[in-house]
Amino acid sequence: MAEITKPFGTSLLVPSVQELAKEKTFKVPQRYFQHQHDNVVVFSETNSFVEIPIIDMQSLFSVESGSSELAKLHLACKEWGFFQLINHGVSSSLVERLKLEIQDFFNLPMEEKRKLWQNPQHMEGFVQAFVVSDDQRLDWGDMFYMTTLPTHARKSHLFPQLPLRFRFPSQSLFTNSCI
Protein backbone atom coordinates (compact mmCIF):
# COMPACT_ATOMS: atom_id res chain seq x y z
CA MET A 1 0.00 0.00 0.00
CA ALA A 2 1.27 3.46 -0.90
CA GLU A 3 2.40 5.60 2.01
CA ILE A 4 0.42 8.81 2.30
CA THR A 5 2.76 11.76 2.02
CA LYS A 6 0.30 14.66 1.67
CA PRO A 7 -2.47 15.75 4.07
CA PHE A 8 -6.12 15.73 2.99
CA GLY A 9 -7.00 18.79 0.96
CA THR A 10 -3.74 18.81 -0.96
CA SER A 11 -2.48 16.78 -3.87
CA LEU A 12 0.90 16.07 -5.42
CA LEU A 13 1.20 17.76 -8.78
CA VAL A 14 1.50 15.49 -11.81
CA PRO A 15 1.87 16.29 -15.52
CA SER A 16 -1.16 16.59 -17.77
CA VAL A 17 -1.73 13.37 -19.71
CA GLN A 18 -2.76 15.46 -22.71
CA GLU A 19 0.69 17.04 -22.64
CA LEU A 20 2.46 13.71 -22.04
CA ALA A 21 0.73 12.19 -25.07
CA LYS A 22 1.94 15.05 -27.31
CA GLU A 23 5.62 14.31 -26.64
CA LYS A 24 7.54 12.98 -29.67
CA THR A 25 9.19 10.21 -27.64
CA PHE A 26 6.00 9.40 -25.79
CA LYS A 27 5.91 6.34 -23.58
CA VAL A 28 3.20 5.77 -20.96
CA PRO A 29 4.82 6.14 -17.51
CA GLN A 30 4.67 3.07 -15.25
CA ARG A 31 2.45 4.76 -12.68
CA TYR A 32 -0.40 4.70 -15.21
CA PHE A 33 -0.25 0.92 -15.70
CA GLN A 34 -2.80 -0.95 -13.62
CA HIS A 35 -1.86 -4.36 -12.29
CA GLN A 36 -3.71 -7.24 -13.92
CA HIS A 37 -5.33 -8.30 -10.65
CA ASP A 38 -6.82 -4.81 -10.32
CA ASN A 39 -8.83 -5.24 -13.51
CA VAL A 40 -12.44 -6.36 -13.22
CA VAL A 41 -14.14 -7.66 -16.36
CA VAL A 42 -17.42 -5.83 -16.77
CA PHE A 43 -18.19 -7.11 -20.25
CA SER A 44 -17.58 -10.62 -21.55
CA GLU A 45 -18.83 -12.96 -24.28
CA THR A 46 -20.97 -14.89 -21.78
CA ASN A 47 -22.42 -11.74 -20.22
CA SER A 48 -22.96 -9.45 -23.20
CA PHE A 49 -25.66 -7.30 -21.59
CA VAL A 50 -24.46 -5.48 -18.50
CA GLU A 51 -26.38 -2.51 -17.14
CA ILE A 52 -24.75 0.36 -15.32
CA PRO A 53 -26.43 0.73 -11.92
CA ILE A 54 -29.18 3.36 -11.90
CA ILE A 55 -29.96 5.17 -8.67
CA ASP A 56 -33.22 7.12 -8.31
CA MET A 57 -32.59 10.14 -6.11
CA GLN A 58 -36.30 10.60 -5.40
CA SER A 59 -36.46 7.01 -4.16
CA LEU A 60 -33.55 7.64 -1.81
CA PHE A 61 -35.74 10.15 0.06
CA SER A 62 -38.89 8.05 -0.06
CA VAL A 63 -40.16 6.37 3.11
CA GLU A 64 -41.38 3.36 1.10
CA SER A 65 -38.31 2.73 -1.06
CA GLY A 66 -35.50 4.63 0.67
CA SER A 67 -33.81 1.66 2.34
CA SER A 68 -33.86 -0.53 -0.79
CA GLU A 69 -32.54 2.33 -2.94
CA LEU A 70 -29.83 2.97 -0.36
CA ALA A 71 -28.84 -0.71 -0.58
CA LYS A 72 -28.64 -0.33 -4.40
CA LEU A 73 -26.45 2.74 -3.94
CA HIS A 74 -24.16 0.87 -1.56
CA LEU A 75 -23.82 -2.04 -4.00
CA ALA A 76 -23.19 0.30 -6.95
CA CYS A 77 -20.41 2.08 -5.05
CA LYS A 78 -18.88 -1.15 -3.76
CA GLU A 79 -19.07 -3.25 -6.93
CA TRP A 80 -18.93 -0.68 -9.74
CA GLY A 81 -17.46 2.51 -8.32
CA PHE A 82 -19.99 4.63 -10.21
CA PHE A 83 -23.67 4.80 -11.16
CA GLN A 84 -26.18 6.80 -13.18
CA LEU A 85 -28.33 9.15 -11.09
CA ILE A 86 -31.89 9.82 -12.24
CA ASN A 87 -34.67 12.06 -10.90
CA HIS A 88 -32.10 14.49 -9.49
CA GLY A 89 -34.09 17.62 -10.33
CA VAL A 90 -31.63 19.14 -12.81
CA SER A 91 -33.11 19.79 -16.24
CA SER A 92 -31.79 17.70 -19.11
CA SER A 93 -31.15 20.86 -21.15
CA LEU A 94 -28.86 22.23 -18.42
CA VAL A 95 -27.04 18.89 -18.14
CA GLU A 96 -26.53 18.78 -21.93
CA ARG A 97 -25.29 22.37 -21.99
CA LEU A 98 -22.84 21.66 -19.19
CA LYS A 99 -21.55 18.54 -20.98
CA LEU A 100 -20.85 20.62 -24.09
CA GLU A 101 -19.09 23.30 -22.03
CA ILE A 102 -16.98 20.66 -20.28
CA GLN A 103 -15.93 19.24 -23.65
CA ASP A 104 -15.06 22.74 -24.84
CA PHE A 105 -13.06 23.32 -21.65
CA PHE A 106 -10.93 20.21 -22.17
CA ASN A 107 -10.37 21.26 -25.79
CA LEU A 108 -8.97 24.65 -24.74
CA PRO A 109 -5.29 25.31 -25.41
CA MET A 110 -3.05 24.22 -22.54
CA GLU A 111 -2.16 27.87 -21.80
CA GLU A 112 -5.81 28.53 -20.90
CA LYS A 113 -6.08 25.40 -18.75
CA ARG A 114 -2.86 26.35 -16.93
CA LYS A 115 -4.74 29.32 -15.44
CA LEU A 116 -6.74 26.71 -13.52
CA TRP A 117 -3.80 24.42 -12.71
CA GLN A 118 -3.67 22.84 -9.27
CA ASN A 119 -1.28 24.31 -6.79
CA PRO A 120 0.38 22.34 -3.98
CA GLN A 121 -1.86 23.85 -1.29
CA HIS A 122 -5.18 22.81 -2.88
CA MET A 123 -6.34 19.71 -4.68
CA GLU A 124 -8.82 21.74 -6.67
CA GLY A 125 -8.05 22.71 -10.23
CA PHE A 126 -7.00 21.12 -13.51
CA VAL A 127 -4.91 17.93 -13.92
CA GLN A 128 -5.45 15.20 -11.27
CA ALA A 129 -6.56 15.37 -7.66
CA PHE A 130 -6.16 12.99 -4.76
CA VAL A 131 -2.56 12.13 -5.67
CA VAL A 132 -1.00 11.41 -2.28
CA SER A 133 2.25 9.58 -3.11
CA ASP A 134 4.81 9.26 -5.88
CA ASP A 135 4.17 5.52 -6.27
CA GLN A 136 0.37 5.81 -6.47
CA ARG A 137 -1.25 4.28 -9.58
CA LEU A 138 -3.04 6.95 -11.60
CA ASP A 139 -5.87 6.96 -14.11
CA TRP A 140 -4.92 7.93 -17.65
CA GLY A 141 -6.84 11.16 -17.90
CA ASP A 142 -6.87 14.77 -16.84
CA MET A 143 -9.63 16.14 -14.67
CA PHE A 144 -10.97 19.37 -13.31
CA TYR A 145 -11.99 19.29 -9.66
CA MET A 146 -13.76 22.12 -7.90
CA THR A 147 -15.79 22.38 -4.70
CA THR A 148 -19.18 23.76 -5.64
CA LEU A 149 -21.33 23.77 -2.53
CA PRO A 150 -21.49 25.25 -0.04
CA THR A 151 -20.38 28.37 -1.85
CA HIS A 152 -18.28 29.57 1.11
CA ALA A 153 -16.09 26.44 0.70
CA ARG A 154 -15.16 27.32 -2.89
CA LYS A 155 -11.60 28.36 -3.56
CA SER A 156 -11.87 32.06 -4.35
CA HIS A 157 -9.04 31.93 -6.90
CA LEU A 158 -10.66 29.24 -9.06
CA PHE A 159 -14.24 30.14 -10.03
CA PRO A 160 -13.41 33.63 -11.38
CA GLN A 161 -10.74 32.07 -13.63
CA LEU A 162 -13.24 29.78 -15.37
CA PRO A 163 -14.07 30.75 -18.95
CA LEU A 164 -17.21 32.94 -18.89
CA ARG A 165 -19.24 30.54 -21.01
CA PHE A 166 -18.52 27.77 -18.48
CA ARG A 167 -19.34 29.82 -15.38
CA PHE A 168 -23.06 30.30 -16.06
CA PRO A 169 -24.06 26.67 -16.69
CA SER A 170 -21.82 25.59 -13.81
CA GLN A 171 -23.41 28.09 -11.45
CA SER A 172 -26.89 27.08 -12.64
CA LEU A 173 -26.14 23.42 -12.06
CA PHE A 174 -24.78 24.05 -8.56
CA THR A 175 -27.76 26.23 -7.65
CA ASN A 176 -30.35 23.82 -9.08
CA SER A 177 -28.81 20.71 -7.55
CA CYS A 178 -29.76 21.63 -3.98
CA ILE A 179 -32.64 19.59 -2.63
**pLDDT at 73 > cutoff 90:** yes
For the segment 151-155, the average pLDDT, to the nearest whole number, is 76
Phi, psi of 145 (to 5 degrees): -120, 130
Per-chain mean pLDDT for the chain: 79
Percent share of the chain, pLDDT over 70? 80
For the segment 28-57, the average pLDDT, to the nearest whole number, is 73
Contact (Cβ atoms closer than 8 angstroms) between residue 13 and residue 127: yes
Q: How confident is the model at residue 153 (pLDDT cuts 50, 70, 90)?
A: confident
Task: Compute CA distances 131 → 3, 10, 92, 125, 172, whole Å.
Answer: 11, 8, 33, 13, 29
pLDDT tens for 83-99 read 999 999 888 888 888 88
For the segment 41-48, the average pLDDT, to the nearest whole number, is 58
**pLDDT at 47 > cutoff 70:** no
Contact (Cβ atoms closer than 8 angstroms) between residue 128 and residue 139: yes
pLDDT at residue 135, as a whole number: 85
